[in-house]
Amino acid sequence: MLMSAEAYRDSLRALSPRVFVNGQQVKSVADEPLLAPGINALGVTYDFALRPEYEKRMVATQQGSGRVTNRMLHVNGSTDDLLTKLEAVRLLCRESGCAQRYLAHDALNALHQGTKRADDEHGGERHARFLAYLDDVQARDLSLGIAMTDAKGDRSKRPGQQVNRDVHVHIKERRADGIIIRGTKAIVTGAPYMHEFLVMPCRTMTPEDADFAVCCAVPVDAEGVTIVSRPAGRPGEAAARFSNTYGQSTGVVMFEDVFVPWERVFFAGETVEAGFMTTSYATHHRHSCIAARAGFGDLLIGAGALMIEANGLDTDRHAHVRDAMVDLIKIVEGFYACGVAASVYGTRDPSGAVMPETVFSNIGKLLLATQIYDMHRLAHYVSGGLIVALPGPDEDHNPETAASLSAVLAGRPDIPAEKRLDVARFMEDLTASNQGGWYSVISLHGGGSPEAMKREIWRNYPVEERSALVERLLDRGILDEGKRTSKQPGRCCETGCEPPALPARNAAE
Ligand SMILES: Cc1cc2nc3c(=O)[nH]c(=O)nc-3n(C[C@H](O)[C@H](O)[C@H](O)COP(=O)(O)OP(=O)(O)OC[C@H]3O[C@@H](n4cnc5c(N)ncnc54)[C@H](O)[C@@H]3O)c2cc1C
């Protein structure tokens, strides 16, 4: 059943996770002011699914079970689903800054694919277990935290080589009724106000590191789980025009000998298929990140236009500010177009789930990861210095200064100073406050650092096909002799590796 935001908040009261924020233990997550902006942001994903005008985007029917579900928990059955998810994530993030719940969508899709592949290879009931879990999550309309990024320790060493084994989550013990896991996930979005965590491996593992290839579902209040979290957004700050209402908290999640029964374990040492699942998650997630940051772009474009207006400028007469706005639009719609292309060229996995095309998904995420800094620059360019220089909101009510400040800080005569300051504070909040920095860093590293995208692009792009094209045009015939080899990973031999077919439009339909 689809929940409302209010029902979601209430459902958190039934849980008792061990959460610390700013050094204090939280008594009730649902009632903690420091977490309220995060709970509000997730609330948008619930309430929007109940609004008739958003139903097509926000609600889906799960193929196979026929379960009606929030789009953020749906396993894609067509390329149309991919495009609709993209639109849904953009819709949610332009409202809430970052709706956070799309990570669950990305993980559920990857698990659908990975568990099927593992069963096909080894036999077993992972996929059936996962389908039962999926149905339960959809039926209860849960919020899932994705616990993938391990603390990692020394980055130059593999998990099994670390001095402290607990810098990665791993299986400590296998029992007849389940497994005991231990270790630390360092960055988990929305950790305190989720219902459950999906623990997933953060990299491909070698056979020696099989105990680190673990994937399972853990309730947030399972015994042995501790969440050490940041506040969400800028709660209680009057100047935080947007992020005192909407924000994201991230938590370090420590698993100290947590028992997980077998029916909630999806991988326990299957290194190859767990690696495939992690890579699939990355593609789904990068596709979602494109839409999330396009939603953020919508906020900057809107605020930029209002600042120009309030400053008394006219984009028809003042071409340089119009050019800056066009550059901003070009960036946002440019990476969003990669998401659309990745949807259109999506392909069906043997599990039946449809996944976005890899190269376009990675290019879109790579573009936004670096161009987020240009987005902020352009927003600052059209706004002027006021966004970081304006007096604080307490001055708005100071009888000594309010009237005279209001008289001199207005721009266009028909726009009151209060409106100009309001949009300036909004712009500061999104681009020049600690939350502005947060939007930069999540764009750069969330979903994987740029090098990870570059590797995926190089690994999947059909360079050989392009070389063959030119060889044919040059009429050299080298390919015909079967001598060409590639330095791309997985394509280094003459016979063993099949270049993937070029994406076909609507291949998954
Ligand atoms: C706001 C935010 C929210 C997030 N939410 C989630 C979440 O909900 N769930 C989740 O699981 N993760 C989440 N992440 C984590 C995100 O996926 C990671 O930040 C990302 O994968 C990079 O990992 P890292 O932060 O540990 O950086 P590092 O791995 O330390 O990387 C830092 C730099 O070092 C380079 N580097 C790292 N290792 C090597 C190596 N062995 N050789 C050469 N270069 C190397 C990287 O390329 C990068 O440039 C979130 C991140 C942010 C910022």
In a domain, 421, yes or no: yes
pLDDT at 502: 47
**Whether residue 350 sits in one domain with residue 375:** yes
Q: Is 148 in the pocket of ligand 1 (CB under 6 A)?
A: yes
**Whether residue 359 sits in one domain with residue 310:** yes
**Whether residue 476 sits in one domain with residue 361:** no
In terms of Cα–Cα distance, which of 387, 377, 200 is closest to 275? 200
In a domain, 49, yes or no: no
Q: Is 103 in the pocket of ligand 1 (CB under 6 A)?
A: yes
In a domain, 480, yes or no: yes
Give DSSP secondary structure letters for 188-241.
Answer: EETGGG-SEEEE--SS---GGGGGG-EEEEEETT-TTEEEEEPPSS-TT-TT-T
**What number is the average pLDDT over the span 76-92?**
98
Strand partners, 198: 146, 217
CATH number of the domain that 327 lies in?
1.20.140.10
Provide the pLDDT confidence category of residue 508 given band limits of 50, 70 and 90.
very low
**Whether residue 300 sits in one domain with residue 351:** yes
pLDDT at 176: 98
Going from the Cα of 217 to the center of ligand 1, the distance in angstroms, rounded, reads 22
SS3 266: strand
**Whether residue 352 sits in one domain with residue 483:** no
Instruction: Say whether pLDDT at 509 is over 50.
Output: no
The Cα–Cα gap between 219 and 265 comes to 13
pLDDT at 206: 95
**Whether residue 475 sits in one domain with residue 386:** no
**For 409-461, what is each residue's pLDDT tens digit?**
889 999 999 999 999 999 999 999 999 999 999 999 999 999 999 999 999 99
**Other CB atoms closer than 10 Å to residue 231's CB: what's the count?**
20
Rg (CA), the chain: 24
**Whether residue 509 sits in one domain with residue 490:** yes
In a domain, 381, yes or no: yes
Instruction: Say whether pLDDT at 477 is over 60.
Output: no
**Whether residue 293 sits in one domain with residue 393:** yes
In a domain, 286, yes or no: yes
- Look at 14-28, 142-156, 282-296, 385-399 and tell me which has the smallest mean pLDDT: 385-399
Q: Which residues of 38-59 are buried (b: 16+ CB within 10 A; e: fewer)?
A: bbbbbbbbbbbbbeeebeebbb
In a domain, 212, yes or no: no
Give the β-pairing of 214-219 and 265-268: antiparallel
**Whether residue 505 sits in one domain with residue 371:** no
Instruction: Say whether pLDDT at 99 is over 90.
Output: yes
**Other CB atoms closer than 10 Å to residue 418's CB: what's the count?**
12
Instruction: Say whether pLDDT at 405 is over 90.
Output: no
In terms of Cα–Cα distance, which of 33, 5, 245 is closest to 101? 5
In terms of phi and psi (left: phi > 0; alpha: psi -120 to 50; beta: otherwise), the region of 141 is left
Going from the Cα of 7 to the center of ligand 1, the distance in angstroms, rounded, reads 33
Q: Is 191 in the pocket of ligand 1 (CB under 6 A)?
A: no
In a domain, 68, yes or no: no
pLDDT at 500: 52
**Whether residue 423 sits in one domain with residue 509:** no
**Whether residue 442 sits in one domain with residue 324:** yes
State which residues form the domain around 468.
Answer: 464-509
Q: Is 183 in the pocket of ligand 1 (CB under 6 A)?
A: no
**Whether residue 448 sits in one domain with residue 331:** yes
Number of structural domains in the chain: 2
Instruction: Say whether pLDDT at 150 is over 90.
Output: yes
**For 310-349, what is each residue's pLDDT tens digit?**
999 999 999 999 999 999 999 999 999 999 999 999 999 9
Provide the pLDDT confidence category of residue 506 given band limits of 50, 70 and 90.
very low
- Look at 105-109, 112-116, 340-344, 485-489 and tell me which has the smallest mean pLDDT: 485-489
The helix (H) or strand (E) run that includes residue 181 is strand 178-189
**Other CB atoms closer than 10 Å to residue 153's CB: what's the count?**
17
pLDDT at 475: 79
Q: Give the contacts of 411 (CB within 8 A, at least 6 positions apart).
A: 310, 311, 312, 420
In a domain, 103, yes or no: no
**What number is the average pLDDT over the span 91-115?**
98
SS3 458: helix
Tell the residue number behind the tokens 């277990």, with chain if given.
129
Going from the Cα of 446 to the center of ligand 1, the distance in angstroms, rounded, reads 7
